């Protein structure tokens, strides 16, 4: 099972949205509802996990209304019938098997609940004194496999608002005992699989601080680094025994590598994995032994480095049984007898297979034929030269299987500290099914390519990163035979901001722009983030050393009179990352200047689209708009 870095302070993630439109009129969908349904529906089964005793499997099961509900199956009874719990995907933060056949769920509104699959009984985990809405979200620190009736967790300490304590919870009685009290600045505790709390991670201003256990049981500072200037690292997990931890660290290289760190001193004792061109993204930990068996990174697609020969050999054997399908480990029972493997495909959502080691059987988890009919696409990774650096910008270029059609979409990812790969993306596949080529650039500021590439985007909204977007568009003209005016720019969140800026700066290239939950005002965004906790870890990425006047000049809202191409603007009313006001103000300014646009209010939607009805609105409205402005252009 992968243990990946914890991104506590994620902002501006790519989203998708829904809602009724006002402004200019829109015509009906360009393609049939049946075709669109294949792209907006969630997988039949998603997020499968095997219980530690191997008897049960949990997952998100798609219903007839396309909502996904938490469901539990008894493995020996097959997957025709399961026990549906009264929770949708949108109701939960996370779920995890603990103590054999007990499924622990963290709910967004009602704390923690526990489902006992053996008894088919659902109840609150904590009778009183547990986590409550509005407080810090709870984390599972250790399932305590050696004591299956107990769980080690953290949630906000009532005696220290805003900071978590560690609790040992009895899963049978629902009682909890505080074993480590909260204290500033710790916001995340780390424990070994056996339940020893060995590390505390906190932030003071821009300083990331790490505390290790003293021999007498106290705590001492073992590391203090500037979040923006110091060598970057992210904790992944404390290893068995508690003496060492797994860390993604760039202390010895521009790339993040997987290191083993001493928990008492903070010293890096061994490099476990690294790559010359890409950051290591995750550690691979054997769910049976809790031993580190490998690492993964994302190049054109996710790739694994497995150094434990036995696990590699068994995975290869299962791949052979499935005709050579490449697999990755998704989940396993504690005794290792039942394992769930995942197969990723660029043309469809992931598939899952249950391997029974005792009898050698491989059983596909429920799937639907509709994904087999999704359009195939050609995907290539291209390197685009960019200004001011000898290092090229990597981008993913996708087009219909029959070849490029002469019309393209430049799709800008959100974050902006994120990246794209050739993995399946419903938006990309939808655009390709409508005859468009799609270019997705990993501009400066994107993650996965080392610290210097990521930090090159700090304070560069509207400048270096925006020039990289234009450079990607120019590549389409020069290398992909796309004519100027036969392409649109599109993106969500930061990508929406970039699309609006391109509507101002790059009208010689683009015929239209689509902004999904886009940032229209940098001053408004900075002011909003300044009201949030840990603003010193988010605002400097945007502001850098820029003045308020410069932030205004780099904001589409204050340059709206320069918008030269039609703009489709969408914004969610319950967006907690980019407030709805950002869309409203931009729409008012566009109307005031009589600039062609459409504005879709995404009522009830959050920053990330969770419902298929929301995704349907997003994809259908986007393709209507794009078809209107470049789909019917003559060659």
Convert the pLDDT of each residue in 351-375 to its tens digit. Answer: 999 999 999 999 999 988 888 778 8
566 occurs within a structural domain: yes
How many independent structural domains does the chain possess?
1
Question: Do 412 and 427 form a contact (C-beta atoms < 8 A)?
Answer: no
Share of the chain above pLDDT 90, in %: 72
Q: pLDDT at residue 623 above 50?
A: yes
Q: Is residue 499 part of a domain?
A: yes
The alpha carbons of the chain give a radius of gyration, in whole angstroms, of 25
Given pLDDT bands bounded at 50, 70 and 90, which one contains residue 2?
Answer: very low
More confident residue, 148 or 597: 597
How far is residue 442 from each of residues 255, 318, 376, 397, measured CA to CA in Å? Answer: 16, 34, 23, 11
Of 482, 501, 481, 477, nearest to 490 by C-alpha is 501
Residue 22: band (very low, low, confident or very high) from pLDDT cuts 50, 70, 90: very low
* Residue among 450, 497, 511, 538 nearest 256 (CA): 450
pLDDT at residue number 477: 96
Q: Tell how strand 121-124 and strand 68-74 pair up.
A: unpaired
pLDDT in tens, 585-596: 999 999 999 999
Q: What is the CATH number of the domain that holds 589?
A: 3.40.50.1820
Residue 321 forms part of a structural domain: no
pLDDT of residue 32: 65
In a domain, 283, yes or no: no
Least confident of 16-25, 107-116, 407-416: 16-25
Cα distance between residue 251 and residue 233, in whole Å: 8
At 633 the pLDDT is 60
Asked whether the beta carbons of 85 and 69 are under 8 A apart, the reply is: yes
The pTM for the full model equals 0.90
Domain membership flag for residue 407: yes
Is residue 172 situated within a structural domain? no
Count of CA atoms in the C-beta half-sphere (13 A) of 63: 15
Average pLDDT, the chain: 90
Is position 224 within any domain?
Answer: no
Show the domain range for 601: 372-631
- Does the pLDDT of residue 608 top 90, yes or no? no
Residue 27 in this model has a pLDDT that exceeds 70: no
Q: Is residue 443 part of a domain?
A: yes
User: Using one digit for the tens of pLDDT, what is the confidence trace for 223-280?
Assistant: 999 888 888 889 999 999 999 999 999 999 999 999 999 999 999 999 999 999 999 9
The whole-number pLDDT of residue 107 equals 92
């Amino acid at each position: 099972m992968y243990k990946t870095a914890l991104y506590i302070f994620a902002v501006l993630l790519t989203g998708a949205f829904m809602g009724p439109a006002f402004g200019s009129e829109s015509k009906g969908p360009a393609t049939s509802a049946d075709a669109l349904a294949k792209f907006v529906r969630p997988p039949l089964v998603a997020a499968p996990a095997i219980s530690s005793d191997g008897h049960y499997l949990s997952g998100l099961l798609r219903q007839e209304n396309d909502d996904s509900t938490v469901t539990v199956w008894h493995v020996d009874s097959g997957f025709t019938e399961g026990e549906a719990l009264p929770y949708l995907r949108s109701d939960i933060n996370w779920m995890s098997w603990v103590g054999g056949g007990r499924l622990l769920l963290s709910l967004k509104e009602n704390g923690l609940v526990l489902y006992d699959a053996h008894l088919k009984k659902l109840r609150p985990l904590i009778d009183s004194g547990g986590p409550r809405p509005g407080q810090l979200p709870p984390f599972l620190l250790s399932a305590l496999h050696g004591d299956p009736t107990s769980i080690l967790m953290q949630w906000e300490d009532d005696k220290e608002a805003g900071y978590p304590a560690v609790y040992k919870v009895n899963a049978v009685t629902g009682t909890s005992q505080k074993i480590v009290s909260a204290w500033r600045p710790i916001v995340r505790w780390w424990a070994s699989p056996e339940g020893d709390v060995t590390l505390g991670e906190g932030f003071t201003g821009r300083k990331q601080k790490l505390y290790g256990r003293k021999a007498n049981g106290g705590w001492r500072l073992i590391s203090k680094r500037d979040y923006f200037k110091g060598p970057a690292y992210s904790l992944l997990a404390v290893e068995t025994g508690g003496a060492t931890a797994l860390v993604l660290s760039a202390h010895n290289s521009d790339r993040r590598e997987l290191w083993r760190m001493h928990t008492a001193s903070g010293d890096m004792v061994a490099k476990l994995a690294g790559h010359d061109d890409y950051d290591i993204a995750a550690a691979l930990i054997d769910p049976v032994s809790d031993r580190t068996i490998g690492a993964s990174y994302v190049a054109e697609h996710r790739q694994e480095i497995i150094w434990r020969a036995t696990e590699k050999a068994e995975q290869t054997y299962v791949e052979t049984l499935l005709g050579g399908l490449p697999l990755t480990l998704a989940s396993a029972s504690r005794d290792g007898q039942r394992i769930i493997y995942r197969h990723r495909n660029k043309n469809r959502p992931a598939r899952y297979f249950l391997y029974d080691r005792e009898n050698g059987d491989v059983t596909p988890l429920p799937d639907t034929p509709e994904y087999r009919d999704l359009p195939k696409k050609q995907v290539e990774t291209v390197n685009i030269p960019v200004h001011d650096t000898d290092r090229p910008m990597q981008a993913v270029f996708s087009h219909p299987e029959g070849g490029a059609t002469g019309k393209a979409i430049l799709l800008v990812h959100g974050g902006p500290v994120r990246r794209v790969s050739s993995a399946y993306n419903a938006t990309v596949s939808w655009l390709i099914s409508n005859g468009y080529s799609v270019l997705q650039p990993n501009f400066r500021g994107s993650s996965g390519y080392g610290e210097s590439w990521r930090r090159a985007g700090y304070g560069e909204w509207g400048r270096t990163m925006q020039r990289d977007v234009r450079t990607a568009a120019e590549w389409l003209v020069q290398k992909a035979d796309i004519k100027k005016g036969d392409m649109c720019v599109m993106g969500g969140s930061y990508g929406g901001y970039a699309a609006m800026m391109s509507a101002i700066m790059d009208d010689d290239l683009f015929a239209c722009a689509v902004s999904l939950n886009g940032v229209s005002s940098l001053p408004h965004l900075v002011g909003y983030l300044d009201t949030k906790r840990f603003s010193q870890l988010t605002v400097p990425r945007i502001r850098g050393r820029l003045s308020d006047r410069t932030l205004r000049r780099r904001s589409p809202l204050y340059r709206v009179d320069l918008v030269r191409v039609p703009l489709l603007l969408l914004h969610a009313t319950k967006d907690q990352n980019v407030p709805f006001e950002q869309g409203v103000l931009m729409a008012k300014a566009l109307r005031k200047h009589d600039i062609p646009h459409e504005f879709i209010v995404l009522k009830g939607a959050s920053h990330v689209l969770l419902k298929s009805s929301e995704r349907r609105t997003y994809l259908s409205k986007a393709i209507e708009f794009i078809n209107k402005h470049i789909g019917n252009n003559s060659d």
